[in-house]
Amino acid sequence: MPRIHAEEMHRIGCNLFEAVGCSPSDTVKIVDHLVQSSLFGHDSHGQLRFYEYIYQIREGLFQPTGSPRIEKDYTCAAVVNGGGALGQIGATFATQLAIEKARKNGIATITLRNTAHVGRVGAYPLLIADDGLVGLVFCNAGHMGRQIAPYGGIDGKLSTNPIAFAAPRRETRPLLVDMTTSVCAEGKIRISANKDEELPEGWILNSHGKPSTVATDYTGDPPGAILPLGGSAGYKGYCLSFIVEILGGALSGQGCASGEQRMESNGLCINAYSIEAFTDMDTYFNEIEALIRHVKSSRTDDTTEEILVPGDPEYRMEEVRSRDGIPIDDETWKQIKQAAVSIGLDPTQWKTISE
């Protein structure tokens, strides 16, 4: 399994996306997002998408030269049409608009439709929190509905429907919550299938509705289904998924799950809150830090060395991978190189730490 330094992975990504017609400025936004996802440990939304996006652009599903625009504009709200652009372009545009409106007016809600796969949803509230505001994002997959079984069902009828949240802290990086309303992201199963790894129990059902730990029981034909978040309380993840469908899908105009097998665009509902519209900054920061001290004062169980807070796993993984390189499973690396050859690039020029 090769490892690649983040800088080299960034160069590889820029080679790929510029070769299929993305502008240099859009390319940097897309690749920054994908490499950061890999640094955070979210390989399902990092290197896995390098070759996937390239093929989807070549198939005409996404437009490398698309440009987002505001369709409806209000004081504290707006509707953004992504213009068919890659998701990172449309979602970043909409998020920056949310920041601008919330700074002026206290709060903002921006919906986004007609873009593409927006990648790691946690990137967008983190962008808001890095600007000193609180961010909350809901993301559905438009009319696609084939991955997640409803509570008590065995057929995939919903999408992973993530919810992401970020809030600034006084002297360190923001709190960050980035979670699917399913027990896991679909990309994590695909990564496990590439690695021929067994899945944890309670993640998927096979095509007969029986629990399985074999990744290809989900990815095969006929496919299986991913379970909603919550295990024996899976009705909670199922209900959260409905919230995301309505806010991310119905409210944005991208639409709700209706059985389509392929996603044309994510639908997003992006919310930004100015802290100073509600309380002064010192009070806010004092309360956040007191909360964290209180939670971390808990005794740990026999399997846990330290209580972490939301965002800690990503930031710590980033430190490790920035130092040691980003691991890429052999199948994903093979697919990236094949995509490169298909668009006239020479992947033998790329440098790995080990292979």
- For residue 1, the model assigns a pLDDT of 82
Residue with tokens 């980035």: 178
Interatomic CA distance for residues 169 and 89, integer angstroms:
27
3-state DSSP assignment of residue 272: strand
- For residue 61, the model assigns a pLDDT of 84
Q: Model pTM? A: 0.95
Q: 74 CB contacts (<8 Å, ≥6 apart)? A: none
CB-based burial label for 5 (10 Å; 0-12, 13-18, 19+): middle
For residues 252 and 269, the answer to whether their CB atoms sit within 8 Å is: yes
Interatomic CA distance for residues 128 and 99, integer angstroms:
6
- For residue 304, the model assigns a pLDDT of 95
- For residue 354, the model assigns a pLDDT of 67
Partnered with residue 45 across adjacent β-strands are none
C-alpha distance from residue 283 to each of 167, 290, 294 (Å): 14, 11, 16
Pair of tokens at residue 233: 């309380």
Mark the ranges of the chain whose per-residue pLDDT is less than 70: 354-355
